[in-house]
């Protein structure tokens, strides 16, 4: 693992742990209650960690043509993570009719957070493996939004989470199409 990736992993793990503690604002043990704004901020931090890891990986020396394709992929992914971060920022901007202050119960981000940590710790060099790992990460994020969406009863919060889920799923589809193009190079 390169020095840049080690730095992202070390800083990211600390950030992730602080974020998770921040999300435990009500309840005992696990993230029992949290506000929608906490969810958005936590996911933004995870997207930033991924973007930094992808950029660090992209900057590493290339040993083969295959790694050039992988670096192209990681450059694209870094840009995509920035886009998702920007999307979360736009959606969380403003009052949004009190949506961000709404409390949600029984959320568990551990599966998604664990996959982000694994991805950062061991970014694949093979484009096929990278494609597979990133598809799993995308699916875990969409699943997280789906679970949260079904847990809330407030229609405005449900719409907000549904909008996030749809936009993330759309980005994942676009991402899959791009990965197929990279494979065809």
At residue 136, does pLDDT exceed 60?
yes
pTM (global) more than 0.85:
no
Q: Give me the pLDDT at residue 185, please.
A: 65
At residue 69, does pLDDT exceed 80?
no
DSSP H helical ranges for 24-152: 36-59, 65-92, 110-121, 127-151
- The residue-averaged pLDDT of 13-42 equals 58
The topology (CATH level 3) of 3-184 is Ferritin (1.20.1260)
Q: Give me the pLDDT at residue 176, please.
A: 78
Structural domain spans, the chain: 3-184
Confidence of residue 37 (pLDDT cuts 50, 70, 90): confident
Q: CA distances (Å), 94 to each of 61, 135, 170, in order?
A: 43, 32, 24
Q: How far apart are CA 125 and CA 74, in angstroms?
A: 10
Confidence of residue 7 (pLDDT cuts 50, 70, 90): low
Q: Give me the pLDDT at residue 14, please.
A: 41
């Amino acid at each position: 693992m390169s020095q840049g990736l080690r730095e992202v992993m070390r800083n990211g793990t600390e950030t992730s742990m602080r974020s998770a503690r921040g999300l435990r604002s009500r309840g005992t043990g696990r993230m029992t209650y949290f506000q929608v704004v906490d969810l958005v901020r936590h996911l933004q931090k995870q997207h930033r960690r991924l973007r930094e890891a992808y950029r660090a990986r992209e900057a590493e020396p290339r040993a083969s043509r295959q790694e050039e394709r992988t670096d192209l992929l990681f450059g694209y992914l870094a840009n995509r993570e920035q886009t998702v971060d920007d999307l979360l920022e736009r959606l969380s901007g403003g009052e949004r009719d009190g949506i961000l202050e709404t409390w949600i119960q029984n959320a568990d981000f551990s599966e998604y957070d664990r996959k982000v940590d694994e991805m950062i710790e061991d970014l694949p060099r093979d484009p096929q493996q990278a494609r597979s790992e990133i598809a799993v990460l995308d699916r875990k994020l969409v699943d997280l939004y789906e679970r949260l969406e079904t847990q809330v009863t407030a229609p405005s919060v449900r719409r907000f989470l549904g909008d996030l889920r749809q936009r993330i799923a759309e980005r994942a589809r676009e991402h899959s199409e791009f990965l197929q193009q990279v494979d065809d190079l």
